[in-house]
Amino acid sequence: MYKKGYHHTEEEKEKIRLSKLGERNPMYHKEFSIETRARMSESQKNREKNPQQWAKMREVRKGFKATNETRKKNSEASKGNHSHLGNHSKFNPEACERLKEVRKKQWQSEEFRNKTVRASRLGSMVRPTKPEQYLIDVLNEHYPNEWKYVGDGELIINGKNPDIMNINGRKSLILMHGIYWHLLSKQKDNPELTKGKVEEADMAFYKAYGYSILIIWDDELKHPAKVLDKIKQFCDAEVVHA
């Protein structure tokens, strides 16, 4: 039992460190399942939202001040260990390559893609953008109780998160495409890319899962009447095919 306020000597710290190295570490080569990682993530989120937990953390940190020696050690330990440092990074190239291969293998799993995208969307507290909200308002006005916003991660289809879903018995989706993110930014690597090619790829993707889609580009919103006409044509065609 240690007394309150007790601090380990440097010799004791070194002994503890050595006792946990490599195979002696209880977490050595231990891998958690996707379900376990999800539970751990949820537990951490709930703890961070708990005001009492934050109060305890503040109480523990109250009056704490790192020594110059500690600051220096932290600085030295963090040098070169960040991927954003580019060529200055001291990450082991072989380890980085192994990590890439692991990620590629994981991403081949549809379940993994869906969980990753959903967690990302939920974690970033996504809300309808202004263009998306405009579409939602138009749909609620002209087609009440038929469409729902699901761009917050509620619906994931093989790693993709559509924006608006029909909730009236039809497998129909409406996607709001930002001209920059869905076209201009991609043209840097693929100058031949056009709106038409983007739409063809998206339509083929969702069609494979039985969905029909309508794509609205944010630069089209400058002409509300044309957008409304486009929506009506899509919805009316869906009713005919239903």
Helix (H) or strand (E) holding 63: none
Q: Give residue-wise pLDDT tens across range 58-92.
A: 666 666 666 777 777 777 766 655 444 444 445 67
Q: How far apart are CA 227 and CA 3, in angstroms?
A: 71
Looking only at Cα atoms, what is the longest distance across the chain? 79
Asked if residue 176 is part of any domain, the answer here is yes
152 found inside a domain: yes
CATH number at residue 161: 3.40.960.10
pLDDT in tens, 154-195: 899 998 999 999 999 899 999 999 999 999 999 999 999 999
> Is 92 contained in some domain?
no
For tokens 């690597």, what's the residue? 189
Residues 192-224 have pLDDT tens digits of 999 999 999 999 999 999 999 999 999 999 999
Domain assignment present for 16:
no
Determine contact, residues 118/153, Cβ cutoff 8 Å: yes
Residue 199 neighbours by CB under 8 Å, 6+ apart = 215
Assess if residue 185 is contained within a domain. yes
- In a domain? residue 156: yes
Rounded to an integer, what distance in angstroms lies between the CA atom of residue 33 and that of residue 39?
10
Q: How many folded domains does the chain comprise?
A: 1
Report pTM.
0.55
User: Is residue 48 scored above 70 in pLDDT?
Assistant: no
65 occurs within a structural domain: no
| Domain limits for position 174 | 130-241
Check: CB of residue 131 under 8 Å from CB of residue 176: yes
Place of tokens 């494979």: 208
Other CB atoms closer than 10 Å to residue 50's CB: what's the count? 11
| Domain assignment present for 45 | no
